[in-house]
Structure 1
Amino acid sequence: MNVYSTAIFLALCGGIVKAQTASGKFISANSIQVEINGMGDHFIPVSLSYERIFHQTNKFAFFAKAGATYQPIGQFTQTAATLEAGMVSQAERHHWEMGLFAMIQDKEINNKETRFVSPQNNGHISLRLGYRYQRPHKGWVARTGVLIPFIYGTNSDIVVPGRQSKIRNVFFPWPAISIGRAF
């Protein structure tokens, strides 16, 4: 009984390892990207991200991406963490992609007249749809697409100067463009 269990286990493990190494076209599974995405109140966030393709099949490659942004703009200082998970079609150079994108923001609003600093924490979770140009080997990665936010959290007690209303752009597509290098 033990010999049969071991043989079945090894056969399954061998099939899984073979599926992960033999299928898929992406040989360069890592990339560093600079991305412009979303619509801020006064600027478009720019982030630096690391992406890893962690699993491939004959038709799709699955990736995870993490990044950060820091930008002082006028009275605002914004830091944010970005996370993304998704899948890319397997082709030679031109790919379609979709995934979930999350940005967790931390803004500080400084009122110079009263010397009052108020934190504002918000973020969003968005569906990402787009196009990717990437060769299977080392080279450039270019992505363009849209983010469609469906969850948008904000601290509604704080009114940002210049904002006319508290209504957020939920379900309104935002541009997303990134360029990077695969290695």
Structure 2
Amino acid sequence: MLASFKSIFIVLLLVLMSKQFQSFAQTETETFTAKKAVYLEVGGSSGIYAINYSKIFHQKGKLKLNASAGFSMLPRRLNSKTTWLPLVPVEVSAFYGKSNHHLELGFGLTSYLASTLDFDPETLELIEKVGYDASIPLRIGYRYQKPEGGFFFRVGYTPIIDSRPRTGGNWSFYPYWAGVSFGKSF
């Protein structure tokens, strides 16, 4: 599994480097008229998948600032029972580049409900405990988005800092994580 994340990371770096050299050939920065996007993210800041909405809230020259929020339902199996728990990724990112190709940097907060098993000493039974947890995804990646709208694509290296103190866990860091997004900007 570690080898597959390393190969994804190497491919991502090669794509980023090749696209950045192509963006230097462009001479003029275009103003984005399509500031909104709807997309599906697999992996990334959501962990598994999420449907997201994003909006560019500031642009000046080659720099654009973007905010996004999404929603997902994740299955969790405890006590031979499947429970669906909501997950909400929120992210702020800056992307830099001319025309269609951009380097993207960002961070976010992904809040979710997590369930664990707990032992009740009075009844001697296992009980399911559901609590709020959060993770902090970081992002460095490539973003393809046309200024006038249309097809939207991004790929990124997204390490995750996970906090689980409310459900009895410890802070942890997952350095090998990546995500791909496809959608439409308008």
TM-score, normalising length: structure 1: 0.70
Gapped runs of 5+ residues in structure 1? 1-22, 160-165
Q: Aligned-pair distance for 1:86? A: 1.3
1:35 aligns with 2:41: yes
Q: Which has the larger radius of gyration?
A: 1
CA distance in 1 between counterparts of 2:30 and 2:58 reads 8
Q: How far apart, in 1, do the equivalents of 2:171 and 2:59 lie?
A: 40
Does the 8 A contact of 1:125 with 1:152 survive in 2? yes
Q: Report runs of 4+ in structure 1 exceeding 6 Å deviation.
A: none
Aligned AA (2:98): A
Matches within 5 A, 1:133-148: 133-148=144-159
Match of 1:64 in 2: 67
Find the counterpart in structure 1 of residue 91 from structure 2: 84
- The alpha carbon displacement at 1:107 in A equals 2.1
Matched, 1:103 2:110: yes
What SS does the corresponding residue of 1:74 show, helix, strand or coil? strand
Deviation by residue 1:18-63 (Cα, 9 ceiling, x = unmatched): xxxxx852110000011122599xxx52111110001110120111
Measured after TM superposition, the shift of residue 65 of structure 1 is: 0.5
- RCO (CA 8 Å, sep 6+): is it higher in 1 or 2? 2
Q: Which of 8, 13, 31 is the matching residue for 1:25?
A: 31
Find the counterpart in structure 1 of residue 57 from structure 2.
Answer: 54
Kept in 2, the 8 Å contact 1:121–1:155? The answer is no
Unaligned 5+ segments in structure 2 are 1-28, 119-124
Structure 1 residues 24 and 118 mapped into 2: Cα distance closer, same or farther (>3 Å)? same
Summarize the Cα distance change of 1:167–1:63 in structure 2 as closer, same or farther, 3 Å threshold.
closer
The amino acid of 2:40's aligned partner reads V
The residue aligned with 1:153 is: 163
Identity %: 24
Q: Distance in 2 between matches of 1:124 and 1:115?
A: 26
- Residue 33 and residue 157 in structure 1: after superposition, are their counterparts in 2 closer, same or farther (change >3 A)? closer
Deviation of 1:167 after TM superposition, in Å, equals 7.2
Given that 1:25 and 1:90 are in contact with CA atoms closer than 8 Å, whether structure 2 keeps it comes out as: no
